[in-house]
Amino acid sequence: MKASVIHLLDIALCAVVLRLIFGWLFEYRRLVRLLIAILSLLAVVYVVFRLSLPFASLLTVVLILPIAVIAFLSFLPELGRIYQSASRGNIFSFRRGSNPELIPVLKATLTELARKRKGALLVLERNDPVETLVTGGEEVDALVNKALIVSIFDPHCPRHDGAIVLKNDRIIRMGGVLPLATAEGADERYGTRHLAAIGLTELCDADVLVVSEERGVISHSRQGLITAVDPEQSEQVEEMLNSAMGVQTDRKHRRKPGALSLVLWIFALGLATLGSFSLEDIRKHFFANPVIVTSVETGIAFEGVAQNLFVDSQDTKQCRLTLRMPSNMILGQNILLVANLAGKPPGKMILNLNPTMVRNLPPGAEVETFEPERISFVLAEAKAFDINVEPARFIGLDPSLVIGQSTLQPAFVRAVVRDTKWKKSNTLRLTPISLAGIVKPGEYTFNASVDIPGSVQAEGGTGVPVVKVTVELLKR
């Protein structure tokens, strides 16, 4: 199949899916909070395991499932409403607003019912049909008017205990029975009417208006939530009706479902197109390149060696590493294999090499093999003793003079030796002393540095020791 056809199918499918998601997030605002909660939870889990926090990792493992279940159950009504809407074919549509001319009629009707303490239940149907959820009663077809509604909810009317269903500007059912919400955790002031209002709005996108027979207040239920207003507060009642019927008082911000749906379609189509054509670049940028196998030569070093110990008789000081790494990775020159000998006692040792010993390895590279796989050496004890210094050597002597007696002060160096092959009979040499420019006989004193090898260290770590040399020059 041609690449262009693949892209078209990919864009079409992704645009439909994205349009569904955007529509749900816009229509059911609590889903946005659910999405934010899920992303926040995933971010916390990522940080905890990325930083390897021990106790936090344990808590995360223990609590992640209960938290996820609680979050899912708390947003289950929204998911149920999405399913109910989709099952009725309302996949891409938005909540439709009602005729704003009905607001004064409903306001006067609800206010009078509240004043007369007549219980009432009015269902405002939106996108989701409610005929499968509202049972009983009678189907009617009448214009919404105050006198009719007040008479229906008169206690002498046979249908006054049920609900009336309003669709657009008409009454389509009276005396309907609504599904009840559970009373567990509900406000004790809520009666059957309020529980019925909550129960219905948990299952569909309808709005329900309730007039309390006992308290004389007007309530509005949407998406399983219910709020009450004082019928004496005219502005609050009108604001509640505007919200219930999807009417915005500000014309500039009045919801336009058709225009909004078009914007979401354009946004979904643009995002799907961008994703389809840029996916390969995204893969190249965020996903690793093909893995290659290479080798590198590295030195072997030691750390944690006790002050009185040293490494001796090491069989090899180099190791070849076989690495797996992305093809675009460049290895640095500072890769080093370091063995930690902290707490190791003196004696002969054989150490198996492992990837944790490799330092300065770039992220993404993995050590496969070592050559050799183990190293052997002796962890020996350093020895401190006096090392004799050889007689001084002189250069640049004037031909008219000869060297008589010379003395050293001191004649030895107290040092720590880290070499098992060093013998007590070994001596240290002085750097040559220049006598250039001296033409008169006499006694002269010079400071000469001791030439110390790397395995020998002057006791106390004072650096290069200095010996005072006194020499007698005689006339030839």
My answer on whether 355 and 387 are in the same domain is no
Amino acid code (one letter) for 279: L
Dist. CA 337–CA 358, nearest whole Å:
5
| pTM strictly above 0.85 | no
**The token pair that represents 170 in the structure block:** 């008409």
In a domain? residue 397:
yes
Q: Clarify whether residues 376 and 462 are in a common domain.
A: no
Domain range for 141 is 102-252
Mean of per-residue pLDDT scores for the chain: 82
357 vs 37, more confident? 357
Q: What is the CATH number of the domain that holds 369?
A: 2.170.120.30
Residues 17 and 27 occupy one common structural domain: yes
CA distance 199 to 189: 16
CATH number at residue 217: 3.40.1700.10
3-state helix, strand, coil in the chain (%, to 5): 35, 30, 35
Question: Are 217 and 261 in a shared domain?
Answer: no
Show contacts of 127-130: CB within 8 Å, 24+ apart: 127/85, 127/90, 127/93, 127/94, 127/95, 127/96, 127/205, 128/81, 128/84, 128/85, 128/88, 128/90, 128/204, 128/205, 128/206, 129/88, 130/165, 130/200, 130/204, 130/206
The residue type at 133: L
Secondary structure element (H or E) that encloses residue 290, with its range: none
Confidence (pLDDT) at 254: 45
Asked whether residue 463 is domain-assigned, the answer is yes
pLDDT over 90, % of the chain:
17
State mean pLDDT over 230-245: 86
C-alpha angle 316-322-327 in degrees, rounded to nearest 5: 145
Give the total number of structural domains in the chain.
4
Does 286 map to a domain? no
Most confident of 88-102, 232-246, 327-341, 368-382: 368-382
Shared-domain flag, residues 123 and 217 = yes
Residue reference for tokens 């999807």: 246
Within this chain, do residues 267 and 315 fall inside the same structural domain, yes or no?
no
Instruction: Give bridge partners of residue 402 from the DSSP assignment.
Output: 474
Query: Which residues have C-beta within 8 Å of that of residue 459, sequence separation ≥ 6?
Result: 384, 414, 415, 416
- Domain assignment present for residue 97? The answer is no
Q: What is the pLDDT of residue 87?
A: 61
Does residue 283 belong to any structural domain of this protein?
no
Give the CA count within 13 Å in the CB-facing half-sphere of 347. Answer: 6
128 in a structural domain: yes
Q: Is 41 exposed, middle or buried (0-12, 13-18, 19+ CB in 10 A)?
A: middle
Is the alpha carbon torsion for 276, 281, 287, 292 positive or negative?
positive
pLDDT band of residue 461 (cuts 50, 70, 90) is: low
Looking at the fold, whether 354 and 267 belong to one and the same domain comes out as no
Q: With cut-offs at 50, 70 and 90, classify the pLDDT of residue 82.
A: low
Is 284 part of a structural domain of the chain? Answer: no
Domain boundary among 334, 355, 381: 381
In this structure, the answer to whether residues 342 and 463 fall within a common structural domain is: no
Same domain, 163 and 248: yes
Q: Does 40 share its domain with 149?
A: no
At residue 353 the predicted structure's pLDDT band, cuts being 50, 70 and 90, is very high
In 172-201, which positions are buried (b, 16+ CB within 10 angstroms) versus exposed (e)? bbbbbebeebeeeeeeeebeebbbbbbbbb
Q: What angle (nearest 5°) sits at the alpha carbon of residue 206, between those of residues 200 and 210?
A: 70
8 A C-beta contact, residue 162 and residue 175: yes
What is the mean predicted confidence (pLDDT) over 56-70? 82
pLDDT digits (tens, 9 = 90+) for 423-438: 888 898 989 999 888 8
Are residues 406 and 432 in contact, defined by beta-carbon separation less than 8 angstroms? Answer: no
The band of 376, judged by pLDDT with boundaries at 50, 70 and 90, is very high
Are 220 and 121 in the same domain? yes
Assign residue 174 a region: left if phi > 0, alpha if psi is -120 to 50, beta otherwise?
A: beta
Alpha helices in 206-250 (DSSP H): 234-244
Q: Are residues 109 and 247 in the same domain?
A: yes
Handedness of CA 57, 62, 67, 69 (dihedral sign): positive
- Assess whether pLDDT exceeds 60 at residue 258: yes
pLDDT digit string, tens, across residues 135-184: 888 988 888 888 999 999 988 888 888 999 998 778 889 999 998 887 56
Contact between residue 471 and residue 447 where contact means Cβ atoms under 8 Å apart: no
pLDDT for residue 378 is more than 80: yes
Q: What residue type is 381 in one-letter code? A: E
